[in-house]
Amino acid sequence: MAGDDPHKGIIDVNFADPETCQACHPRQYEEWSSSSHAYGAISPTFNTFEMVVRKATKGKFANNGEQANFCSKCHSPTAELLEEFPDYFDDASVRPVRESLSEVSKRGVSCDSCHRVSSIDESESLEEGKLGDGIANTSIVLDTRTGMRRGPLDDPVTNSFHAVSTRSYEYMNGDMLCGACHDVRIGFEEDVVTGDPFLRLENLFTEFRDSPYVKLDHPLRDQVEAHHPLVEGRVVTCQDCHMSLFPVGGVGEYPIDLAAVQGSGDEPLKERRVSTHYFTGVDIALIDFPNQDDPTPDKNGLPKGLDQRRKLLLQRAVEMSLDGTPDEIDPGENFPLSVTLTNVGAGHNVVAGFSQERQIWIEAVVTDRRGQEVFATGYLRRFDPDTGQFLIDPDGDGDHDEEWANAGFAFAHDDSNGTPVEPYIEVEGPDKHLVTFTNHFEYIDEEGGHHETHLPFGKTNHFNNNRTLKPFEPVTQVYNIPIPSTASGPLSVSVRLRFRHFLPSFLRYLKDRDNSLVTEEIIDNVQIIDMCSETKQVAMDPDVDLNSDDKINHLDLLEFMKQWKLEHNP
């Protein structure tokens, strides 16, 4: 049986509008207002996905369902307490959640969602995915009886606006407050691979807890401290990256500022170490929303725009090396292009969060001296929304460049919105060499065969969360590329690690649902970000077509001698 809900029956609650907090905390308000926390409840992607889930599961996650408000309560914790989430009656009754929310609850994870947390719910309910450790599925307990606010300061300045407390000092300075929402587990479903009586939809916090950032005796801990010296000898917290001066400053580097600009007057305000409230991550609003694109630095040097900060965050996450790639080869041989990636800047795996619906992949292109393409992988197909057809178009301009060219998803368009068992369709010229680090939803059949599925319900019975890049564990991919004997050297190698926070195919699936809020414009707003890149020139022996006449003969030797004389006898 599920544990008792500590909030049950408490609905007469007065949660503050964030603008109320703005008067004393203008910096925090401005930073928060552009964050994904502020956007979470009104996001058209979330609202459409939540409708799809309610229909597909026949209300399992609705207010009156078996795992009530599973998706919604993390996106608006106050709405659950105010009993604003709708019940499920039938598919025709399903509407966007945001339509039922009060103005306060539409503000998503707002000030009171964190600063009125009085404790962490550590009840155990394995069938719901709760292990008794206060992690997963909104395991926070909000103070609904007093107006007290809690923060990370052990000596807060008293004021006449609200009571303050230090009783929650430990977890407000630690990681439990974040972990309560950033592990997400679908209950009452068995993972047939792990044997857990639940499915790990978002495994971010568990990955963090198991990493060398948290475990001081971890064999890779010395690498953490070598890359991030400010955290030497101490456990890293979520705040050290997501509420600090990172990614402009170092991990664990914080601004010095006032926590509030007004007090009671009984004691002076003082500058101290404070936290930023940008909550910079990899997500960004796909509709018009405050400060998504603004390169202007704030007074601490952080760009005000979320897009600028998340690009910096992603570009500090992974390092790339081509060191295993030879400097020269002979034409007609296999060319071993070696790409090594190391997660050096994220305390959890890369990529994390809703990792099954994010894309991260290697694009590699090799051309010869004449610019002719010898090898390419990681290119995209261009989608034409007018015809519904895909065309290969690896131009990298981001305009309708949507699907990986190795395979395409097929979707079930029946009344149940079911997930197909075998969603792959071969396309013309498939990219057989594609390397991705995106986690998978999977269906494991009776013979043990693995089939990737597209959504976390229907036939899905395993969440493969082991495909991403773990902290400081290098991953090397070697492409053995046959080089034609007619190729003209040197070879030019260009490699990029690319990322986008939603699969266009996922958004297109949502777009095609009833009552969808997702549009073509929203899909086009998904950006591709290059996390890291490397280039290299690879020499080849001169027995190639140096004079570009598509023949290899004595004339190429004469061309080589001519070039050699020009180089050595200027």
Q: How many residues are present in the chain?
A: 570
Q: β-pairing, 130-131 with 140-142?
A: unpaired
Instruction: Identify which of 375-379, 498-502, 565-569 has the greatest average pLDDT.
Output: 498-502
What average pLDDT score do residues 31-60 get? 96
| Of 152-156, 408-412, 523-527, the least confident | 408-412
At residue 7, does pLDDT exceed 50?
no
What average pLDDT score do residues 487-509 get? 91
d(CA 195, CA 88): 30
pLDDT-derived band of residue 69, with 50, 70 and 90 as boundaries?
very high
What average pLDDT score do residues 272-299 get? 96
Residue with tokens 């050290």: 240
What average pLDDT score do residues 71-98 get? 95
- List C-alpha distances in Å: 499 to 353, 466, 510, 526: 14, 18, 20, 10
Contacts of 493 (CB under 8 A, 6+ apart): 322, 325, 337, 364, 365, 366, 534, 535, 536, 537, 538
**Predicted pLDDT at 557:** 60
d(CA 375, CA 325): 15
**Predicted pLDDT at 459:** 86
What average pLDDT score do residues 398-408 get? 65
- List C-alpha distances in Å: 442 to 57, 181, 188, 412, 523: 17, 24, 17, 16, 25
**Predicted pLDDT at 428:** 44
**Predicted pLDDT at 167:** 63
Query: Residue 490: is the preceding peptide bond cis (ω within 30°)?
Result: yes
Q: Alpha-carbon torsion 190, 193, 195, 201, what sign?
A: negative
- List C-alpha distances in Å: 235 to 168, 224, 231: 18, 11, 7
Q: With beta carbons less than 8 A apart as the criterion, state whether 464 and 442 touch.
A: yes
pLDDT digits (tens, 9 = 90+) for 420-435: 433 333 444 578 888 9
d(CA 49, CA 515): 11
What average pLDDT score do residues 370-386 get? 82
pLDDT digits (tens, 9 = 90+) for 542-551: 555 556 666 6
3-class DSSP state of 408: strand
Quick one: DSSP state of residue 273?
E
At residue 396, does pLDDT exceed 70?
no
pLDDT digits (tens, 9 = 90+) for 120-130: 999 999 999 99
**Predicted pLDDT at 438:** 93
Q: What is the pTM of this model?
A: 0.88
Q: β-pairing, 529-540 with 491-500?
A: antiparallel
- List C-alpha distances in Å: 423 to 383, 413, 420, 452, 459: 18, 12, 6, 7, 12
Q: With beta carbons less than 8 A apart as the criterion, state whether 293 and 308 touch.
A: yes
pLDDT-derived band of residue 5, with 50, 70 and 90 as boundaries?
very low
pLDDT-derived band of residue 60, with 50, 70 and 90 as boundaries?
very high
What average pLDDT score do residues 16-30 get? 94
d(CA 449, CA 190): 17
Mean pLDDT of the chain: 86
What average pLDDT score do residues 428-450 get? 85
Percent of all residues in the chain with a pLDDT value above 70, rounded to a whole number: 84
**Predicted pLDDT at 400:** 62
At residue 291, does pLDDT exceed 60?
yes
3-class DSSP state of 199: strand
Composition of the chain by helix, strand, coil, percent to 5: 25, 20, 55
pLDDT digits (tens, 9 = 90+) for 340-363: 999 999 999 999 999 999 999 999
What average pLDDT score do residues 266-275 get? 84
Percent of all residues in the chain with a pLDDT value above 90, rounded to a whole number: 64
pLDDT digits (tens, 9 = 90+) for 550-564: 666 667 666 656 655
What average pLDDT score do residues 293-302 get? 97
d(CA 434, CA 453): 18
What average pLDDT score do residues 471-476 get? 97
Where in 406-490 does DSSP place strands (E)?
408-409, 424-425, 440-444, 450-453, 462-464, 475-482
- List C-alpha distances in Å: 409 to 145, 166, 307, 405: 50, 51, 29, 11
Q: With beta carbons less than 8 A apart as the criterion, state whether 69 and 80 touch.
A: yes
What average pLDDT score do residues 317-326 get? 97
- List C-alpha distances in Å: 25 to 257, 275, 304: 11, 12, 17
Inter-helix orientation angle 504-511/44-56, to 10°: 70
